[in-house]
């Protein structure tokens, strides 16, 4: 039983996530709001022996019904599930960031105000008097810096005070402003506290005047017809959101008057921003930042990857000792091939997730992410995505699992799913190891042409996939262009960031292991054979459906290698070698990436050029690997969409294979 539930409410860049991570550390849970495609973040912490729950509320700049996030946020608050709402504002831009507080005003739930980024404001020469603001608002107000460890004690005290006093925001002066707007008083009088529980008539009136769709619909259902008509008539006459917006900012000006001594900050771009926003060099600078970030991420990733290799190397020892102990080949295989090999596979890739989560988290916290959004807004907008989506794409050239993990910086669920779905089309490091090798073997000096063709198809693939998937994922209202703030750069809070990264990596590990082991067992059983490969189910199915797979240009050996490549691309070439020479376990080769010595001769002797071309396209655009699949599920929390994306990729890979094969037949 917790002492109280605190809801965190704030605009983007108000430091909400930093505060949430700092408060809850590893005690957090990420899921979806019931029946919605919006991420739900909850956590808990203890203070002086009492447990508190924290909900990190989604949303953007206001409490209007502009998105699912905003509706969820205000419904959660009005439902009374939170005992107190902690509203965050950015001290360095109070005039603008107090808008959330003004939009909140009129919801009947206790709250307190945190003026975050006090350090940034101080550096700008602003002097803020929280006591003066507190007096005008009637709720606890404190200056705070989420990156300052020593500030938290004061935070807890302010929070407890708000809970104890059940502090309600004083809205008298705001209502005075609203009363100046034509029609406000008339509408307000027709409404009572009971119309929609949790919201005052003032709040409802303002939202009705702003033509808020949800409120308008609810009023239509609850108000008697006559009153309803009066309301609609006034809403039509009034200037709506422009007038109420003006009132809110006038109120904010009144609050800040005398409480903030302004040393006017100049509107100038810093050195770094002049580079990032440069017409020509901006994109290059962003890509360079991401690439350098990725390289840097290998430093913390390396120990984890080495650990994975360590698991791999003891596997042989375990296998020998198990066999010596007389354990059956079936059980030994299950233990060594599936369990240990699978763990090693996941741990190796987990290093990448750790690195990417850290670097992306850092870029976001420091403020670079907003610049990336700005630079790529136009390009990514064509795909129905935010500018930030460029980052997961770049990461996916290294590892699709890292790309999927990096997609968490995209705050809209549909756009996140779409980003990951497109990131799958980017050939990963393992594919880049195979493509040049196969291309050189079969096409010699023509190999660079194949690589150019792959990149061209990749872009086409992403464009078409965006068209197909965006219909179900990206709503019309999410497509509207960027209106966002570029926050001032600020220092990261390392402790909170690291705890978040560790928590995230841990979560990913457990969920991914589950999926990987499950699929591994199935694949292992299919490829299990007591002697050679010819007893396995995979072989039998492959041979039986060969007349069909030949249409795609894939003889059974290549088709099985294609199936194996959806497990992990590293081993695809090794599998072909094993199948043509009839030796070795398909499963072990798939997961170990061992390659037969004279693979070149084997390939040239058995595979025609059109078939090779078909195969290259088939594995490049097949689903990236089982770990990427699991990571995708971990990020988007939807079995339906994960399966959809996977099935789509299997299908399109075969389609591309078929096209490549028939083009190849025409050439050779």
Partner 1 sequence: MSLNEVRENTDAIINELKGDARFISRITSIGLTPGCRVSIIKNDKNRPVLLYSRDTMIAVNRKECAGILVSEVKA
Residues forming the site for partner 1 (CB under 8 A) = 60-62, 64, 66, 92-97, 99, 103, 210-213, 240-242, 245-246, 248-249, 265, 267-269, 277, 279, 282, 370, 373-375, 377-378, 381, 477, 480-488
Whichever of 45 and 199 has its CB closer to partner 1, that residue is 199
Q: Are 289 and 275 in contact (CB under 8 A)?
A: no
Closest CB 641 distance from partner 1, rounded Å = 26
Backbone angles phi, psi at 98, to 5 degrees: -75, 0
Closest CB 99 distance from partner 1, rounded Å = 6
Closest CB 477 distance from partner 1, rounded Å = 7
Whichever of 81 and 274 has its CB closer to partner 1, that residue is 274
Closest CB 126 distance from partner 1, rounded Å = 9
Whichever of 2 and 277 has its CB closer to partner 1, that residue is 277
Say which DSSP state 110 is in: -
Whichever of 264 and 640 has its CB closer to partner 1, that residue is 264
Q: How far apart are CA 131 and CA 110, in angstroms?
A: 18
Q: Specify burial of residue 558 (Cβ count, 10 A radius: 0-12, 13-18, 19+).
A: buried
Whichever of 256 and 349 has its CB closer to partner 1, that residue is 256
Closest CB 219 distance from partner 1, rounded Å = 15
Closest CB 241 distance from partner 1, rounded Å = 4
Backbone angles phi, psi at 533, to 5 degrees: -110, -10
The SS3 assignment for 491 reads: coil
The beta-carbon contacts of 526-533 under 8 Å, at least 24 apart in sequence, are 527/585, 527/586, 527/587, 527/590, 528/330, 528/333, 528/587, 529/585, 530/329, 532/582, 532/583, 533/578, 533/579, 533/582, 533/584, 533/585, 533/586
Whichever of 96 and 511 has its CB closer to partner 1, that residue is 96
Q: CA-based angle 223:226:227, to the nearest 5? A: 50
Closest CB 120 distance from partner 1, rounded Å = 11
Whichever of 300 and 381 has its CB closer to partner 1, that residue is 381
Whichever of 204 and 646 has its CB closer to partner 1, that residue is 204
Q: Are strands 260-261 and 127-128 parallel, antiparallel or unpaired?
A: antiparallel
Structure tokens at 232: 């609609």
Q: CA-based angle 73:185:134, to the nearest 5? A: 55
Closest CB 255 distance from partner 1, rounded Å = 14
Whichever of 117 and 658 has its CB closer to partner 1, that residue is 117
CB atoms within 10 A of CB 267: 5
Q: How far apart are CA 549 and CA 556, in angstroms?
A: 7
Whichever of 210 and 312 has its CB closer to partner 1, that residue is 210
Q: Are 593 and 587 in contact (CB under 8 A)?
A: no
Q: How far apart are CA 270 and CA 277, in angstroms?
A: 10
Closest CB 59 distance from partner 1, rounded Å = 10
CB-based contacts of 625, cutoff 8 Å, min separation 6: 400, 401, 428, 430, 566, 567, 568, 569
Closest CB 237 distance from partner 1, rounded Å = 15
Location of structure tokens 């039986």: 544
Whichever of 115 and 589 has its CB closer to partner 1, that residue is 115
Location of structure tokens 């290698």: 561
Alpha helices in 384-428 (DSSP H): 390-396, 400-406, 413-423
Closest CB 282 distance from partner 1, rounded Å = 8
Residue 143 bridge partners (DSSP): 115
Say which DSSP state 625 is in: B
């Amino acid at each position: 039983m917790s002492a109280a539930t605190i809801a965190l409410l704030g605009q983007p860049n108000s430091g909400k996530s930093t505060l949430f991570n700092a408060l809850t550390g590893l005690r957090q849970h990420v899921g979806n709001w019931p029946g919605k495609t919006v991420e739900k973040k909850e956590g808990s912490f203890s203070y002086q022996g009492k447990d508190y729950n924290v909900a990190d509320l989604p949303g953007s700049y206001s409490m209007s019904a502009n998105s699912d996030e905003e509706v969820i946020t205000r419904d959660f608050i009005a439902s009374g599930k939170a005992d107190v709402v902690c509203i965050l504002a950015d001290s360095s831009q109070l005039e603008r960031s107090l808008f959330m507080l003004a939009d909140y005003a009129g919801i009947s739930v206790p709250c307190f105000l945190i003026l975050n980024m006090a350090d940034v404001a101080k550096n700008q020469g602003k002097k803020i008097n929280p006591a003066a603001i507190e007096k005008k608002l009637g709720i606890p107000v404190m200056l705070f810096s989420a990156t300052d460890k020593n500030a938290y004690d004061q935070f807890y005290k302010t929070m407890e005070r708000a809970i104890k006093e059940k502090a309600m925001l004083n809205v008298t002066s705001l209502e005075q402003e609203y009363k100046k707007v034509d029609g406000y008083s008339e509408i307000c009088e027709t409404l009572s506290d009971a119309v929609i529980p949790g919201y005052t008539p003032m709040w409802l009136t303002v939202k009705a005047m702003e033509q808020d769709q949800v409120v308008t619909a609810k009023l239509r259902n609850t108000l008697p017809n006559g009153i309803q008509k009066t309301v609609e008539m006034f809403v039509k006459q009034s200037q709506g959101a422009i007038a109420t917006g003006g009132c809110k900012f006038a109120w904010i000006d009144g609050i800040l008057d005398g409480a903030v001594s302004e040393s006017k900050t100049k509107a100038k771009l810093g050195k770094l921003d002049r580079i990032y926003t440069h017409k020509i060099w901006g994109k290059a600078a962003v890509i360079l930042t991401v690439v350098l970030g990725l390289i840097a991420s290998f430093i913390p990733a390396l120990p984890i990857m080495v650990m994975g290799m360590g698991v791999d190397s003891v596997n042989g020892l375990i296998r020998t000792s198990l066999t010596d102990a007389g354990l059956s080949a079936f059980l030994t295989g299950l233990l060594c091939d599936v369990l240990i090999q699978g763990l090693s596979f996941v741990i190796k890739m987990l290093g990448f997730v750790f690195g990417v989560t850290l670097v992306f988290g850092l870029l976001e916290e420091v403020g670079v992410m907003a610049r990336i959004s700005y630079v790529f807004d136009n390009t990514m907008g064509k795909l129905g995505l935010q500018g930030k989506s460029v980052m997961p794409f770049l990461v996916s050239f290294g590892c699709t699992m890292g790309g999927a993990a990096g997609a968490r910086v995209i705050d809209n669920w549909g756009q996140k799913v779409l980003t990951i779905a497109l990131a799958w089309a980017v050939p990963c490091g393992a594919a880049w190891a195979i493509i040049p090798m196969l291309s050189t073997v079969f096409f010699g000096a023509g190999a660079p042409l194949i690589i150019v063709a792959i990149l061209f198809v990749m872009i086409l693939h992403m464009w078409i996939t965006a068209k197909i998937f965006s219909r179900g994922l990206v709503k019309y209202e999410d497509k509207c262009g960027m209106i966002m703030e570029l926050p001032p750069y600020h220092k990261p809070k390392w402790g909170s960031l690291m705890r978040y990264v560790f928590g995230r990596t841990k979560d990913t590990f457990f969920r991914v292991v589950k999926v990987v082991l499950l699929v591994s067992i199935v694949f292992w059983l299919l490829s299990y054979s007591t002697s050679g490969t010819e007893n396995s189910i995979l072989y039998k199915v492959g041979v039986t459906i060969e007349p069909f797979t030949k249409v795609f240009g894939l003889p059974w050996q290549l088709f099985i290698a294609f199936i194996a490549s959806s497990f992990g691309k590293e081993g695809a070439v090794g599998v072909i070698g094993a199948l043509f020479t009839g030796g070795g376990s398909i499963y072990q080769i798939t997961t170990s990436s061992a390659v037969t010595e004279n693979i070149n001769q084997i390939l040239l002797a058995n595979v025609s050029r059109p078939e090779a071309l078909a195969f290259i396209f088939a594995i490049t655009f097949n689903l990236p690997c089982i770990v990427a699949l699991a990571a995708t599920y971990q990020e988007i929390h939807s079995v339906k969409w994960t399966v959809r994306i996977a099935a789509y990729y299997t299908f399109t890979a075969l389609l591309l294979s078929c096209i490549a094969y028939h083009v190849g037949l025409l050439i050779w």
